Amino acid sequence: MNFDLSPEQIMIRETVREFAEREVKPVAQELDEKSEFSYELTRKIGELGLFGMNIPEKFGGQGLDTLSYIIAVEEMARVDGSQAATLAAHNSLGIGPLLDYGTEEQKLKYLPSLCTGTGLWSFGLTEPGAGSDSRGSKTTAVLDGDEWVINGSKIFITNASVDISLGCTVQAVSGEQNGNKIFTTIIVEKDTPGFRRVPMHNKMMWRASDTAELFFDDVRVPKANLLGKVGDGSHIMLHTLDGGRLSIGAMGLGLAQGAFEMALAYANERQQFGKPIAKFQINAFKLADMALKVELARNLLYKACWLKDEHRPYSKEAAMAKLYCSEVAKEVADEAVQIHGGYGLMKDYAIERFYRDQRLLQIGEGTSEIQRMVISRLIGC
């Protein structure tokens, strides 16, 4: 058994940490307060090569392994949830399905610009009436001659409404067989008539990331915009979410790491009753528990990544990592606020933002409840 990262993975961690500390940290609070998406940071993240990390070089990516990508997301989330969200959603949900299911032509058409940071792509799955129950989707895709005609709406879609968002991979019902809906996945480019994208403002968390509602009103796209085959939709969705779970796990791990570091630094600095509060056993043990949880979360997540890189089944471990990392993020951020006392409630302290940002992680890309359901099925319940 070898727990060492490769020299490249170590350098990727150092590089993304340096970038996040230098470029993201100084502006994170302001972007959060203004609820502003940063085109400049997105461009810089692209220049660094963090978009398309797992994409082969011939499509403009870096051809790196899953763990390298997960380390990049973790390091970004250690400093800011919003930028980590843009990064993770674009890679896992935007680029992921196009890479895994696109034809050579589709990949050559879309992937190069999506790897540079000049274009983002989104994955349209959730609907107002279809969250955990994704089979409740009502958006339809009907083949009419040489075109798909799409009607319906999507909600809570990341990276879908900013100017550089070039399109969306849409999950739609394309028919019925034996009383079961058939799901099909279609590529819709941003300027297609009838496709409307409305940004969703005033979120509690990830305020500097882009979240949108999408409306499809007789949207017509060429038949060739089909991703995969007719009826592949459910499979594409499940496969994409497996990878997405690792990303959310990395966001939870990074957020927990960042919150822990803030709490430790503050506890060593803050004096009460004549000594640093870290010297009080109640806080020291709290910090020890936080460190323990972060370590466990990292080991679980990295193992899931290793399984994926080894091309072994990893659905169960991905669900476990997503569940555990996101819950550890909640617990660690909560205790970190407690250690900060009153200051932890003020926006001047980054821990306040971390406390808000963690809350999505137990909800997005499969709630904690759904993860438990997935795990319980995979262990034979």
Partner 1 sequence: MKILVLISNVPDTTTKIRFKSDNTAFDDAGVQWIINPWDELALTRAVELKETGGVSLITVANVGNASTEPTLRKALAVGADDAIRIDVEARDAFEVATQLASVAKDYDLIMAGIEASDYNGSAVGGMLAELLDIASVSSVSGINIENGQLLFNREIDGGSQVLSVTTPVVAIVQKGIAKEPRIPAMRGIMMARKKELKVTAPVSAEDRTSFVRFELPPKKAACKMVAEDNAKELVRLLHEEAKVL
Contact 359, 256 (CB under 8 A): no
Nearest-approach distance from CB 257 to partner 1, in angstroms: 16
Pairing of strands 226-227, 180-189: antiparallel
Give the residues lining the site for partner 1 (CB under 8 A).
7-8, 10-12, 14-15, 18-19, 22, 47-50, 53, 62-64
Nearest-approach distance from CB 48 to partner 1, in angstroms: 5
**Which of 145-148's residues contact partners 24+ apart within 8 Å by CB, and which partners?**
146/222, 146/223, 147/220, 147/221, 147/222, 147/223, 148/186, 148/220, 148/221, 148/222, 148/223, 148/225, 148/226
Catalytic residue among 33, 40, 365, 369: 365
Alpha-carbon distance 324 to 70, whole Å?
A: 15
Alpha-carbon distance 133 to 366, whole Å?
A: 10
| Nearer Cβ to partner 1 (36/269) | 269
Nearest-approach distance from CB 8 to partner 1, in angstroms: 6
| Nearer Cβ to partner 1 (45/164) | 45
| Nearer Cβ to partner 1 (60/366) | 60
Amino acid (1-letter code) at residue 30: E
Nearest-approach distance from CB 152 to partner 1, in angstroms: 37
| Nearer Cβ to partner 1 (53/130) | 53
Element holding 310 (H helix, E strand): none
Nearest-approach distance from CB 53 to partner 1, in angstroms: 6
Nearest-approach distance from CB 75 to partner 1, in angstroms: 12
In the residue annotation, 8 being an active-site residue is answered as no
- Distances in Å between the alpha carbon of 25 and those of 126, 158, 225? 31, 21, 39
Alpha-carbon distance 102 to 303, whole Å?
A: 28
* End-to-end Cα separation, the chain, in angstroms: 30
| Nearer Cβ to partner 1 (63/129) | 63
E strand intervals along the chain: 120-124, 140-144, 147-158, 165-177, 180-189, 195-199, 211-222, 226-227, 271-272, 275-276
| Nearer Cβ to partner 1 (14/218) | 14
**Residue 317 structure tokens:** 């471990």
The residues carrying an active-site annotation are: 365
